[in-house]
Chains A and B, each alone.
Chain A
Amino acid sequence: MPENIPPISVVSHKDIRIVEFTNNKILDEANIEGIRRTIDSLIDETDRPKLLLDFGAVDHLSSAALGMLINCNNRVKARNGQLRLANIKPQILEVFVITKLNKLFKILPTREEALASFMAG
Protein backbone atom coordinates (compact mmCIF):
# COMPACT_ATOMS: atom_id res chain seq x y z
CA MET A 1 0.00 0.00 0.00
CA PRO A 2 1.43 3.42 -0.90
CA GLU A 3 2.49 5.29 2.23
CA ASN A 4 0.69 8.53 1.28
CA ILE A 5 -2.73 6.85 1.50
CA PRO A 6 -3.62 6.29 5.16
CA PRO A 7 -4.79 2.68 5.69
CA ILE A 8 -8.19 3.64 7.08
CA SER A 9 -11.74 4.14 5.87
CA VAL A 10 -14.25 6.56 7.35
CA VAL A 11 -18.02 6.17 7.41
CA SER A 12 -20.70 8.14 9.23
CA HIS A 13 -23.53 6.91 11.43
CA LYS A 14 -25.75 9.87 12.37
CA ASP A 15 -23.31 12.34 13.95
CA ILE A 16 -20.69 9.67 14.71
CA ARG A 17 -17.61 9.21 12.55
CA ILE A 18 -16.50 5.60 12.36
CA VAL A 19 -12.86 5.03 11.48
CA GLU A 20 -11.96 1.53 10.40
CA PHE A 21 -8.34 0.45 10.10
CA THR A 22 -7.96 -1.34 6.79
CA ASN A 23 -4.41 -2.63 7.29
CA ASN A 24 -3.73 -5.42 9.77
CA LYS A 25 -0.60 -3.68 11.05
CA ILE A 26 -0.46 -0.27 12.73
CA LEU A 27 3.26 -0.35 13.27
CA ASP A 28 4.89 1.75 10.68
CA GLU A 29 5.68 5.38 11.49
CA ALA A 30 4.75 6.68 8.03
CA ASN A 31 1.36 4.97 8.14
CA ILE A 32 0.76 6.16 11.69
CA GLU A 33 1.46 9.76 10.74
CA GLY A 34 -1.02 9.54 7.85
CA ILE A 35 -3.67 8.05 10.15
CA ARG A 36 -3.04 10.76 12.74
CA ARG A 37 -3.51 13.55 10.19
CA THR A 38 -6.76 12.05 8.90
CA ILE A 39 -8.18 11.52 12.40
CA ASP A 40 -7.11 15.01 13.50
CA SER A 41 -9.03 16.51 10.58
CA LEU A 42 -12.13 14.51 11.58
CA ILE A 43 -11.84 15.77 15.16
CA ASP A 44 -11.44 19.36 13.98
CA GLU A 45 -14.54 19.15 11.75
CA THR A 46 -16.96 19.85 14.56
CA ASP A 47 -17.40 20.87 18.18
CA ARG A 48 -18.02 17.90 20.45
CA PRO A 49 -16.80 15.31 17.91
CA LYS A 50 -17.97 11.72 18.26
CA LEU A 51 -15.42 9.25 17.01
CA LEU A 52 -15.44 5.46 16.97
CA LEU A 53 -12.26 3.58 16.07
CA ASP A 54 -12.93 0.04 14.84
CA PHE A 55 -9.93 -2.28 15.32
CA GLY A 56 -11.53 -5.35 13.75
CA ALA A 57 -8.83 -5.73 11.10
CA VAL A 58 -5.85 -4.93 13.31
CA ASP A 59 -3.45 -7.77 14.20
CA HIS A 60 -0.39 -5.75 15.22
CA LEU A 61 0.36 -2.35 16.65
CA SER A 62 3.28 -0.52 18.24
CA SER A 63 3.91 2.05 20.95
CA ALA A 64 3.96 4.70 18.22
CA ALA A 65 0.38 3.70 17.34
CA LEU A 66 -0.58 3.96 21.02
CA GLY A 67 0.91 7.46 21.05
CA MET A 68 -1.22 8.39 18.05
CA LEU A 69 -4.35 7.09 19.84
CA ILE A 70 -3.53 9.05 22.99
CA ASN A 71 -3.04 12.19 20.90
CA CYS A 72 -6.45 11.50 19.37
CA ASN A 73 -8.02 11.04 22.83
CA ASN A 74 -6.44 14.27 24.12
CA ARG A 75 -7.74 16.25 21.13
CA VAL A 76 -11.25 14.79 21.39
CA LYS A 77 -11.34 15.65 25.10
CA ALA A 78 -10.11 19.19 24.41
CA ARG A 79 -13.15 19.66 22.16
CA ASN A 80 -15.53 18.08 24.70
CA GLY A 81 -16.08 15.16 22.36
CA GLN A 82 -16.42 11.42 22.83
CA LEU A 83 -14.07 8.67 21.67
CA ARG A 84 -14.77 4.94 21.65
CA LEU A 85 -12.57 2.00 20.66
CA ALA A 86 -14.23 -1.23 19.57
CA ASN A 87 -13.77 -4.67 18.11
CA ILE A 88 -10.25 -5.16 19.50
CA LYS A 89 -8.79 -8.67 19.18
CA PRO A 90 -7.60 -10.29 22.43
CA GLN A 91 -3.87 -10.05 21.54
CA ILE A 92 -4.23 -6.33 20.86
CA LEU A 93 -6.39 -5.77 23.92
CA GLU A 94 -3.57 -7.25 25.99
CA VAL A 95 -1.31 -4.41 24.80
CA PHE A 96 -3.85 -1.91 26.17
CA VAL A 97 -3.96 -3.81 29.46
CA ILE A 98 -0.16 -4.02 29.82
CA THR A 99 0.16 -0.29 29.22
CA LYS A 100 -2.93 0.38 31.40
CA LEU A 101 -4.41 2.35 28.53
CA ASN A 102 -7.60 0.33 29.01
CA LYS A 103 -8.15 2.76 31.92
CA LEU A 104 -7.76 5.79 29.65
CA PHE A 105 -9.87 4.71 26.68
CA LYS A 106 -13.50 3.68 26.57
CA ILE A 107 -13.24 0.24 24.97
CA LEU A 108 -16.36 -1.66 23.91
CA PRO A 109 -16.48 -5.26 22.61
CA THR A 110 -18.39 -4.54 19.40
CA ARG A 111 -19.07 -1.67 17.04
CA GLU A 112 -22.78 -1.87 17.86
CA GLU A 113 -22.16 -1.57 21.60
CA ALA A 114 -19.78 1.32 20.98
CA LEU A 115 -22.37 3.13 18.84
CA ALA A 116 -24.99 2.63 21.53
CA SER A 117 -22.64 3.99 24.22
CA PHE A 118 -22.38 7.50 22.77
CA MET A 119 -24.34 10.03 24.74
CA ALA A 120 -26.80 12.19 22.87
CA GLY A 121 -26.08 15.86 22.33
Chain B
Amino acid sequence: MQAKALKFDIPSDLSESRRVHQQIMAAVADGGYSEDAIFAIKLAIEEALVNAIKHGNKLDPRKRVHVEANVGPEEVEIIIEDEGPGFARCAVPDPTADENLTKCSGRGLLLMEAYMHTVEYSNNGRRVRLVRKRD
Protein backbone atom coordinates (compact mmCIF):
# COMPACT_ATOMS: atom_id res chain seq x y z
CA MET B 1 0.00 0.00 0.00
CA GLN B 2 0.98 3.61 -0.49
CA ALA B 3 1.51 5.67 2.67
CA LYS B 4 -0.96 8.46 3.20
CA ALA B 5 -0.27 11.62 5.20
CA LEU B 6 -3.12 13.81 6.42
CA LYS B 7 -2.93 17.14 8.21
CA PHE B 8 -5.71 19.15 9.83
CA ASP B 9 -5.91 22.36 11.78
CA ILE B 10 -9.38 22.66 13.34
CA PRO B 11 -11.18 24.87 15.85
CA SER B 12 -12.22 23.48 19.24
CA ASP B 13 -15.46 22.11 17.89
CA LEU B 14 -16.63 18.51 18.25
CA SER B 15 -18.41 18.53 14.88
CA GLU B 16 -15.10 19.47 13.21
CA SER B 17 -13.38 16.63 15.03
CA ARG B 18 -15.98 14.22 13.66
CA ARG B 19 -14.95 15.17 10.12
CA VAL B 20 -11.25 14.65 10.92
CA HIS B 21 -12.04 11.33 12.58
CA GLN B 22 -13.95 10.10 9.53
CA GLN B 23 -11.19 11.10 7.09
CA ILE B 24 -8.46 9.39 9.08
CA MET B 25 -10.55 6.23 9.50
CA ALA B 26 -11.26 6.15 5.76
CA ALA B 27 -7.49 6.16 5.12
CA VAL B 28 -6.97 3.40 7.71
CA ALA B 29 -9.69 1.28 6.11
CA ASP B 30 -8.11 1.85 2.66
CA GLY B 31 -4.81 0.68 4.15
CA GLY B 32 -6.24 -2.79 4.74
CA TYR B 33 -5.81 -2.79 8.52
CA SER B 34 -7.55 -5.51 10.52
CA GLU B 35 -10.90 -5.09 12.24
CA ASP B 36 -9.16 -5.11 15.62
CA ALA B 37 -6.76 -2.37 14.52
CA ILE B 38 -9.62 -0.30 13.11
CA PHE B 39 -11.55 -0.68 16.37
CA ALA B 40 -8.49 0.37 18.39
CA ILE B 41 -7.56 3.35 16.21
CA LYS B 42 -11.14 4.61 16.02
CA LEU B 43 -11.45 4.52 19.81
CA ALA B 44 -8.06 6.12 20.45
CA ILE B 45 -8.63 8.99 18.00
CA GLU B 46 -12.05 9.70 19.49
CA GLU B 47 -10.57 9.87 22.98
CA ALA B 48 -7.57 11.98 21.95
CA LEU B 49 -9.68 14.48 19.99
CA VAL B 50 -12.23 14.87 22.79
CA ASN B 51 -9.38 15.32 25.28
CA ALA B 52 -7.78 18.03 23.14
CA ILE B 53 -11.02 19.92 22.51
CA LYS B 54 -12.77 19.56 25.87
CA HIS B 55 -10.04 19.10 28.45
CA GLY B 56 -7.14 20.81 26.65
CA ASN B 57 -8.71 23.76 24.85
CA LYS B 58 -11.82 23.72 27.07
CA LEU B 59 -14.00 24.30 23.99
CA ASP B 60 -12.42 27.77 23.56
CA PRO B 61 -13.24 28.75 19.95
CA ARG B 62 -10.03 30.84 19.72
CA LYS B 63 -7.87 27.77 20.33
CA ARG B 64 -7.01 25.26 17.64
CA VAL B 65 -6.32 21.55 17.50
CA HIS B 66 -3.54 20.36 15.20
CA VAL B 67 -3.80 16.82 13.86
CA GLU B 68 -1.40 14.75 11.77
CA ALA B 69 -2.04 11.21 10.64
CA ASN B 70 0.43 9.01 8.80
CA VAL B 71 -1.14 5.82 7.54
CA GLY B 72 1.71 3.61 6.41
CA PRO B 73 2.09 -0.03 5.38
CA GLU B 74 3.37 -1.10 8.82
CA GLU B 75 1.77 1.33 11.25
CA VAL B 76 -0.62 4.20 11.76
CA GLU B 77 0.73 7.24 13.58
CA ILE B 78 -1.53 10.02 14.83
CA ILE B 79 -0.32 13.20 16.48
CA ILE B 80 -2.83 15.51 18.16
CA GLU B 81 -1.84 18.79 19.80
CA ASP B 82 -4.00 21.34 21.58
CA GLU B 83 -3.33 24.89 22.78
CA GLY B 84 -4.46 24.40 26.38
CA PRO B 85 -2.46 24.54 29.62
CA GLY B 86 -1.26 20.93 29.35
CA PHE B 87 -1.44 18.25 32.02
CA ALA B 88 0.73 15.75 33.87
CA ARG B 89 -0.18 12.15 33.07
CA CYS B 90 0.93 11.00 36.51
CA ALA B 91 -1.59 13.37 38.15
CA VAL B 92 -4.57 11.70 36.49
CA PRO B 93 -6.24 9.27 38.93
CA ASP B 94 -6.47 5.57 38.10
CA PRO B 95 -10.08 5.06 36.92
CA THR B 96 -9.86 1.33 37.65
CA ALA B 97 -9.28 1.89 41.38
CA ASP B 98 -12.30 0.72 43.38
CA GLU B 99 -12.97 4.22 44.71
CA ASN B 100 -13.09 5.63 41.15
CA LEU B 101 -15.22 2.97 39.45
CA THR B 102 -18.47 4.92 39.86
CA LYS B 103 -16.99 8.20 38.58
CA CYS B 104 -18.37 9.15 35.20
CA SER B 105 -15.14 10.42 33.60
CA GLY B 106 -11.40 9.80 33.43
CA ARG B 107 -11.17 6.68 31.23
CA GLY B 108 -10.02 8.18 27.92
CA LEU B 109 -6.27 7.96 28.61
CA LEU B 110 -6.59 4.40 29.91
CA LEU B 111 -8.36 3.32 26.72
CA MET B 112 -5.86 5.05 24.42
CA GLU B 113 -2.99 3.40 26.26
CA ALA B 114 -4.67 -0.01 26.22
CA TYR B 115 -5.45 -0.01 22.52
CA MET B 116 -2.40 1.66 20.98
CA HIS B 117 1.12 0.24 20.86
CA THR B 118 2.68 3.61 21.66
CA VAL B 119 1.22 6.61 23.49
CA GLU B 120 3.67 9.47 24.08
CA TYR B 121 2.85 12.77 25.73
CA SER B 122 5.03 15.82 25.09
CA ASN B 123 4.92 19.63 25.20
CA ASN B 124 3.61 19.44 28.78
CA GLY B 125 0.86 17.03 27.82
CA ARG B 126 -0.52 19.21 25.03
CA ARG B 127 0.76 16.84 22.38
CA VAL B 128 0.01 13.15 22.17
CA ARG B 129 1.53 10.71 19.68
CA LEU B 130 -0.35 7.48 19.09
CA VAL B 131 0.98 4.51 17.14
CA ARG B 132 -0.80 1.31 16.23
CA LYS B 133 1.24 -1.28 14.35
CA ARG B 134 -0.27 -3.61 11.80
CA ASP B 135 -1.34 -6.86 13.50
Contact = CB atoms under 8 A, between A and B. Distances in A.
Interface string B111-125: 100100000000000
Interface of A is mostly: helix
Interface in B88-129: 95-96, 101-108, 110-111, 114
A95 interface: yes
Q: Which of under 10, 10 to 19, 20 to 34, or 35 or more describes the interface residues of B?
A: 20 to 34
A71 B108 CA distance: 16
A109 B35 CA distance: 22
Interface of B: 14, 18, 35-36, 39, 42-43, 46-47, 50, 95-96, 101-108, 110-111, 114
Contact of A99 (B18, B35, B102, B107): B107
Most buried by B among A63, A64, A71, A91: A63
B108 A91 contact: no
A100 B101 contact: yes
